[in-house]
Structure 1
């Protein structure tokens, strides 16, 4: 029997009530519910779930957390259960600075680091602090849909910069600048990008920093998946190479657990200071208990072993996804084979993947259609698959079902649509 849990296709549009929509702010026009639909599937049952970037629950460090919570409640309740400073508890900021120094070879100076409530909080604080209506923001095309919606709330002009197998096309960004369109900022996910799974190569990293420094473009570097590479390869982060022109935003949602809703922003002190002011006027502070949990987890030396477990599990699932796609997806479908992170990005020429999501959901498979990941020119024949939470047998079966749904959609498509490139 098909599951009755919510699906990403039916949850895309908000409910229309009796006239209150006319009272909404103008900037909400065109807003959709894609993120709502994805999160609604977080605990869905009876579905092979390739939708959200959900960490595998079996990796949550529950035993270690139990001991840490017991200790905090008995020895540190006055701090762990209290409000926190808007820039974060000082000892937690020190622990994260130590972590960055170990992981990146670069340590934020005083005033260059703050605690955020995850990556999307950082995006919102940046947009609130830096964007006036009409300002230009460059983003990868495609890019994280939460960043697109977070920026658009403050009415900038978004320009998508294309990607290829080597990541962001820096020459395309340079061409945009040569046409007189100079972004105030550029948002990029250099490693195992959401949604494409692609990684920015070393040559382009250097070129990107040089280009943005020359034109005073702030690079927003989102490192949500940086520590989740499958193999022993790691390129220098943009922030470690150029802390003067890069604001790095990170999250512990993927590597610790998402319920803690905790991350960081590290970059130029005058920007971080304004983000702190913006946070005072949004959620005021990130939760103190979560901060102290992360701090104690880092101080206890638990993260390296945690990352090893995560990399091994996600590598196995990523490789299983690649094999299943090769086995079951009908050509001319194409897809990326990531070397880390959670996602594979699939193109199915001639098929509208919003319609395909409905058909797949009828056979208890969920994925995210690709159109909301595009900032300007939405393309409707892409979809994102997340393998992070799916068990190995589910991956093969789910992709087999998806392949059959694609076959049916292509046979049903008008001939003119079927040949669309």
Structure 2
């Protein structure tokens, strides 16, 4: 039999399976999962989708069930642009629809990256982005971040050496995996550095609408639409069952992303765009997001209480103001990856920290997601996690 491993392209041979491992735990029986960043299914707008299907689908079928333009349905892009302006204070000059946020990242990589190009990321950062960048053979470099997000001085130091990076990837709002919220002062400093150095910033706003208090800080794209391309998704704020996202950015860039999409899936699904447009035009998104914020705030409160009760003083965790995640740091010598089999025996799941870093070992860290588990499940899950981690503490 031919050994296909010998024929794999470098980008395929080097790709990880962390995302597949996380997704495989969806609805796993007997398991309390703190692993994936899954939205709470209890708040999915089931009744609204049922009403649409019953009352409007016959008339909407030629749009909802048909192929769409590669850049997205014009009516949906108009509704989306209106919502973006209401949320961020600026209407995009160039906007396209994507099949989720991860596809937008893939299109950016396909359009901009050559092997060996420098890409800067926060440390730690979203594992899916690291996989995308490494899949296109970029040279990924970590920039220091803390509880207030990316450190501008560290970014300035990275920009002062070597060739100009092709792009900087950043999640300013309730970051994955740490929950950090980039301060307003740092947002201004970051875009000023980008303009000074001709750096393209990729801003991922997956969790922007999900602050527990509803407070928002200016998006990087609204501060500097000339040097920022914004990647968004409806997976976290509506539901992920239809893969739907967007990219808004410089008018010189978006048409190239549209062309790249022609060689990808050709177009995002019409049904998802039709559903989302109906949701937006009926004015239902604000109320839905408010419910989501309250749900996730209550679940974070349960997670915080559980970690405080069941983890000792050797452990520390981030204090997110929104989103889905907290980042746990244990004592040196702890190996969270090695503990995964024992975690499965105890019926609890998490994601070890090392895959979220570009070229750095972080075995004593882990990411916990509180979004898809109820407060009662969180109470029991943190008890099991405490048994696991405190029992393994060196």
What is the number of equivalent residue pairs in this alignment?
Answer: 393
Cα distance in 2, alignment partners of residues 36 and 241 from structure 1: 35
Q: Residues 169-188 of structure 1, C-alpha deviation per residue, up to 9 Å, x if partnerless? A: 11101011122342111000
* 1:69 and 2:45 correspond: no
Alignment of 1:306-321 (within 5 A): 306-321=288-303
> Could you tell me how far 1:404 is from its partner in structure 2?
1.3
Alignment of 1:113-192 (within 5 A): 113-192=95-174
Q: Which runs of 4+ in 1 moved over 3 A?
A: none
8 Å Cα contact 1:69/1:293 also seen in 2? no
* 1:58 and 2:42 correspond: yes
1:397 maps to: 380
8 Å Cα contact 1:176/1:182 also seen in 2? no
**Tell me, what secondary structure is at the counterpart of 2:169?**
strand
Alignment of 1:22-421 (within 5 A): 22-109=6-93, 112-349=94-331, 350-410=333-393, 418=394
8 Å Cα contact 2:5/2:13 also seen in 1? no
Cα distance in 2, alignment partners of residues 70 and 375 from structure 1: 48
Q: Residues 133-172 of structure 1, C-alpha deviation per residue, up to 9 Å, x if partnerless? A: 1111101110000011011111110011111111111110
Q: Residues 187-206 of structure 1, C-alpha deviation per residue, up to 9 Å, x if partnerless? A: 00000000000010011000
- Structure 2 unaligned runs (5+)? none
Cα distance in 2, alignment partners of residues 191 and 343 from structure 1: 11
> Could you tell me how far 1:32 is from its partner in structure 2?
2.2
8 Å Cα contact 1:72/1:80 also seen in 2? no
Cα distance in 1, alignment partners of residues 343 and 106 from structure 2: 33
Cα distance in 2, alignment partners of residues 34 and 18 from structure 1: 27
8 Å Cα contact 1:243/1:267 also seen in 2? yes
**Tell me, what secondary structure is at the counterpart of 1:236?**
coil
TM-score, length-scaled by structure 1: 0.91
Cα distance in 1, alignment partners of residues 127 and 361 from structure 2: 12
8 Å Cα contact 1:330/1:406 also seen in 2? no
> Could you tell me how far 1:42 is from its partner in structure 2?
1.1
8 Å Cα contact 2:14/2:135 also seen in 1? no
8 Å Cα contact 1:369/1:380 also seen in 2? yes
TM-score, length-scaled by structure 2: 0.98
Q: Residues 310-360 of structure 1, C-alpha deviation per residue, up to 9 Å, x if partnerless? A: 000100001111111111112211110101000000011221110122221
**Tell me, what secondary structure is at the counterpart of 2:143?**
strand
Alpha-carbon RMSD? 1.2
> Could you tell me how far 1:407 is from its partner in structure 2?
1.9
Cα distance in 1, alignment partners of residues 2 and 313 from structure 2: 46
Cα distance in 2, alignment partners of residues 131 and 325 from structure 1: 41
8 Å Cα contact 1:345/1:383 also seen in 2? yes
> Could you tell me how far 1:18 is from its partner in structure 2?
7.3
